[in-house]
A and B are shown apart, each in its own frame.
Chain A
Amino acid sequence: MTSLPIATNKSVRAYAKILARDFRRPMFRALWMYAIAGIASLIGPTIIGHIVNDVTAGTLTSRGITYFALGLIAASLINTASTFLARRRSYVLGESVFARLREDFMARVLELPLSVVERAGTGDLLSRTTNDVEALSRTVRFAVPEWLVAIMQALLTLGAMLLTSPMVALSALIALPLLYLSTKRYLRYAAPGYIRERISYATLFATVSETAEGGRTMDALQLGRRQRRRVENDLNEIFFSEIYTLSLRLAWFPTLETNFALAIATTVMWGGYLYLHHHVSLGAATAVALYVVQLVDPLDRIVAWLDELQIGQTALARLIGVADVKDDRITTGDQPLSEIIELSDVRYHYRPGHDVLRGVSLTITPGERLAIVGPSGAGKSTLGRLIAGIDRPSTGTLTIGGVSLEHLPLSDVRQHVALVTQEHHIFIGSLRDNLRLADTSATNEELERALAAVDAIEWVEALPEGFDTILGSTGYPLTAGQAQQLALARLVLADPHTLVLDEATALLDPRAARHLERSLNAVMQGRTVIAIAHRLHTAHDADRVCVVIDGTIAELGTHDELLALGGEYAALWRSWRSESDEAE
Chain B
Amino acid sequence: MPLLPFRVLPVSDPGQPDLRSPGRFLFWMARRQWRLIAGGTIFGVIWMVAQALLWAAVGTAIDRGLVHRNQHELVIWCLIILALGATQGVAGAIRHQIAVTNWMNAAFRTIQLVGRHLSNAGTGVTDEITSGDIVTTVAADAMRIGGAYDVIPRFIGAIVAWIVVAIILISSSGVLGVVVLVGVPLLASLTTPLMRPLHQSQAAQRESTGRLTAMGSDTVSGLRILRGVGGEDVFFKNYVDTSSEVKQAGIKVAGPQALLESGQVFLPAVLTVIITWAGATKVIHHDIQAGQLVAFFGYATFLTLPLRTVIEYIVASTRAIVGARKVIAILSTTPNVSDPDVPQPWPTNATRLIDPVSGVTLTLGQLTGLVTETPAQAQVIANALGRFTSESTARIDDVPLADLTVADLRHHIVVSEIEPRIFAGTLRSEVSLGSEMSDHELDGAFAVASAADIISASDDGYDMTVEERGRNFSGGQRQRLALARALATQADILILIEPTSAVDTHTEGRIATQLGDARRGRTTVVASTSPLILEKCDAVIFVNPEGEVITGTHRELARDRADYRNVVLRTDD
Contacts and interface: CB of A to CB of B under 8 A. Distances in A.
A439 B234 CA distance: 10
A509 B84 contact: no
Instruction: Point out which of B74, B123, B223, B485 has the most chain A C-beta atoms below 10 A from its C-beta.
Output: B223
B329 interface: no
Interface in A98-113: 98-99, 102-103, 106-107, 109-113
Interface string B222-233: 111111111111
A61 B284 contact: yes
Interface stretch (A285-293, A309-317, A361-369): A285-293
By CB atoms of chain B within 10 A, which of A249, A266, A579 has the most?
A: A579
A540 to B, nearest CB: 12
Given A102-B243, A103-B239, A232-B115, A250 B2 contact: yes
Contact of A261 (B67, B81, B570): B81
Contact of A96 (B229, B236, B247, B386): B247
B298 A215 contact: no
Interface residues of A, number: 173
A285 B298 CA distance: 15
B229 A414 contact: yes
B410 A65 contact: no
A490 B230 CA distance: 10
Given A91-B250, A510-B529, A210 B231 contact: no
B337 to A, nearest CB: 9
Interface stretch (A16-24, A125-133, A452-460): A125-133
A109 B220 contact: yes
A431 B281 CA distance: 75
Interface string A267-284: 011001101100000100
B403 to A, nearest CB: 19
B429 to A, nearest CB: 9
A62 B284 contact: yes
B2 A99 contact: no
Contact of B567 (A254, A282, A510, A579): A510
B521 interface: no
A260 interface: yes
B27 interface: no
B90 interface: yes
Interface string A229-248: 00110011011001100110
A226 B434 contact: yes
A426 B555 CA distance: 41
Interface stretch (B184-192, B210-218, B354-362): B210-218
A68 B280 contact: yes
Interface in B369-411: 373-376, 386, 388, 407, 410-411
A2 interface: no
Interface stretch (B91-99, B343-351, B440-448): B91-99
A282 B250 contact: no
A315 B554 CA distance: 59
Contacts of B173: none
Given A206-B468, A210-B424, A235-B108, A511 B228 contact: no
Contact of B61 (A103, A110, A268, A576): A268
A236 B10 contact: yes
Contacts of A61: 284
Interface stretch (A73-81, A336-344, A399-407, A553-561): A73-81
Contacts of A205: 135, 138-139
B457 interface: yes
Given A87-B258, A220-B410, A257-B92, A490 B227 contact: no
Nearest to A224: B119
B421 interface: yes
Given A80-B269, A106-B216, A583-B558, A211 B251 contact: no
A410 interface: yes
Contact of A91 (B2, B58, B215, B257): B257
A570 interface: no
Contacts of B134: 208-209, 212
Contacts of A232: 10, 112, 115
A511 B529 CA distance: 10
Interface string A469-501: 000111000000000000100110010000000
B223 A112 contact: yes
A213 B421 contact: yes
A262 B230 contact: no
Given A48-B276, A95-B254, A205-B138, A218 B505 contact: no
Interface stretch (A49-57, A152-160, A184-192): A49-57
A95 B244 CA distance: 9
Contacts of B67: 56, 282
Contacts of A334: none
Contacts of A99: 243-244, 246-247
A69 B96 contact: no
Contacts of B265: 37, 41, 76, 79-80, 83
B62 interface: yes
A134 B246 CA distance: 13
Contacts of A534: 504-505
Interface string A189-232: 00000000000010011111111111111111111111110011
Contacts of A219: 122-123, 336, 388, 410
Interface stretch (A115-123, A161-169, A521-529): A115-123
Interface stretch (B31-39, B162-170, B495-503): B495-503
Interface string A375-415: 11100000000001010000000000000000000110010
A429 to B, nearest CB: 6
Contact of A126 (B220, B301, B386): B220
Given A48-B276, A106-B216, A215-B125, 14 more contacts: A79-B269, A88-B258, A95-B250, A106-B239, A114-B224, A121-B467, A123-B467, A212-B135, A273-B74, A289-B294, A410-B227, A422-B502, A506-B475, A575-B509
30 contacts: A41-B265, A48-B293, A72-B277, A79-B265, A91-B250, A94-B250, A98-B250, A99-B243, A110-B227, A110-B236, A112-B227, A122-B471, A205-B139, A209-B131, A209-B468, A215-B125, A223-B119, A239-B10, A247-B2, A249-B96, A261-B86, A272-B61, A272-B71, A376-B507, A418-B229, A429-B238, A437-B226, A439-B230, A490-B229, A509-B501
